[in-house]
Homo-oligomer: A and B are copies of this chain.
Amino acid sequence: MAVQKITLFTDQPLRLVFGGQLDNIDVVYQTYGTLNREKNNAILLCHALTGDAEPYSDEPNRAGWWQQFMGHNLAFDTSKYFFICSNVLGGCKGTTGPASINPHTGKPFGSQFPAVTVQDIVRVQKALINYLGIEHLHAVIGGSFGGMQATQWAIDYPDFMDNVINLCSSLTFSAEAIGFNHVMRQAIINDPNFNGGDYYEGEPPEKGLAIARMLGMLTYRTDIQLAKAFGRATKAETNYWGDYFQVESYLSYQGQKFLDRFDANSYLHLLRALDLYDPALGFDNLKNALERIKARYTLIAVTNDQLFKINDLHKSKTALEQAGVKLQYYEFASDYGHDAFLVDYDAFEAKILSGIESSIGQEK
């Protein structure tokens, strides 16, 4: 189905957790499969940092970010479930974000775009689900940054879903991961074109954004995968200070390709939302927040994930267990590291299915 756009928060603005508000929020979304008569087969898919509302595409030569996971008899079975996916608040793929026109000024928000949190993103998703007339979700599912959204759904709307699946994501981002985000942010902010975020009338901070993306890519994969793919091979025509090795050429290509599809301000905002995400926000402590969860919660960890390290996944597992959450936990190694949840279908299929299927008819 084609991408659709609606405008929400037209009557009342969304008051943001970190201050400020937004109204007339555009939300771009896509659906797959058919909502059944009982309206109990809807599943919300939450995208990761640089994803969009299109996990699957049936156009030729075009693929969504979960293309190989979705379809008849696959982990996300479109003949059985009705899937909804929307671009996040603060993004740049159709939903209101820093590059959008501020309806109150007629100019792009740029530096004036307010800080958004996972909690705000989830409130916009909930408004979309309300708009679609869906009163209960069979599951909320996401990987990485999407896993944080899924967790927050279970805390904020505990009666609204049967299942939550969180892939490759811990409850909070680690000091090390915040450090990588800090380096990426400073690369963008220090780009001579950044202009405090108000670059929409001039050149965008492309070099800074490409550098940030290259660093991101390194945290998404593993040394083993890069060794297999590139090793120490050099390019036929090498450039001593540029792309001398194949792995450099690959990273440079990824950095350049990213410029076509992502806005630097959106990247900054969503990186910060990753850092800041804390399920305990607004609660006395983490346990109080997690105790609200009624859904079955499936947590799937990759032991050699270099962004969400396994130590943090273990801490998350313990915290969920201590809060009495009905937890299903899996862990396994994948050469793809953090990106496994996007590319290593075989490793995830059965685990996702067990997270989606296990509770049908049991939990309500």
Residues of A within 8 A of B (CB): 115, 172-180, 182-183, 185-187, 189-192, 207-208, 210-211, 214-215, 217-218, 221-224, 226-227, 229-232, 240-241, 243-248, 251-252, 268, 272, 275, 278, 309, 311-312
Contact B223 A211 (CB under 8 A): no
- Closest Cβ of chain B to A269, distance in Å, is 10
**Cβ–Cβ < 8 Å partners of A211 in chain B:** 183, 186-187, 190, 211
- Closest Cβ of chain B to A294, distance in Å, is 27
- Closest Cβ of chain B to A165, distance in Å, is 24
Contact B240 A176 (CB under 8 A): no
- Cβ-defined partner of A214 (8 Å) among B182, B223, B272: B182
**Cβ–Cβ < 8 Å partners of A251 in chain B:** 179, 182-183
Contact A186 B214 (CB under 8 A): yes
- Cβ-defined partner of A179 (8 Å) among B207, B231, B248: B248
Return 28 A-B CB contacts under 8 Å, by A number.
Answer: A115-B240, A173-B232, A174-B227, A174-B232, A175-B226, A175-B230, A175-B232, A175-B246, A175-B247, A176-B221, A176-B222, A176-B223, A178-B245, A179-B217, A179-B218, A182-B243, A182-B245, A182-B247, A182-B248, A182-B252, A183-B218, A183-B251, A186-B214, A190-B211, A215-B215, A223-B309, A223-B311, A223-B312
**Cβ–Cβ < 8 Å partners of A175 in chain B:** 223, 226-227, 229-232, 245-247
**Cβ–Cβ < 8 Å partners of A240 in chain B:** 115, 272
Most chain-B CB neighbours within 10 Å: which of A211, A245, A272, A309? A211
In the bound complex, what is the Cα–Cα distance between A175 and B244 (angstroms)? 12
- Residues A215 and B248 in contact in the complex (CB < 8 Å), given A224-B311, A311-B224: no
**Cβ–Cβ < 8 Å partners of A312 in chain B:** 223, 227
**Cβ–Cβ < 8 Å partners of A252 in chain B:** 182, 186
Known pairs A177-B223, A227-B311, A232-B278 / 9 extra A-B pairs, C-beta < 8 Å: A174-B226, A175-B231, A178-B248, A183-B211, A183-B214, A186-B207, A187-B187, A190-B208, A245-B275
**Cβ–Cβ < 8 Å partners of A214 in chain B:** 179, 182-183, 186
- Cβ-defined partner of A232 (8 Å) among B178, B183, B226, B268: B178
In the bound complex, what is the Cα–Cα distance between A207 and B115 (angstroms)? 25
Most chain-B CB neighbours within 10 Å: which of A176, A246, A311? A176
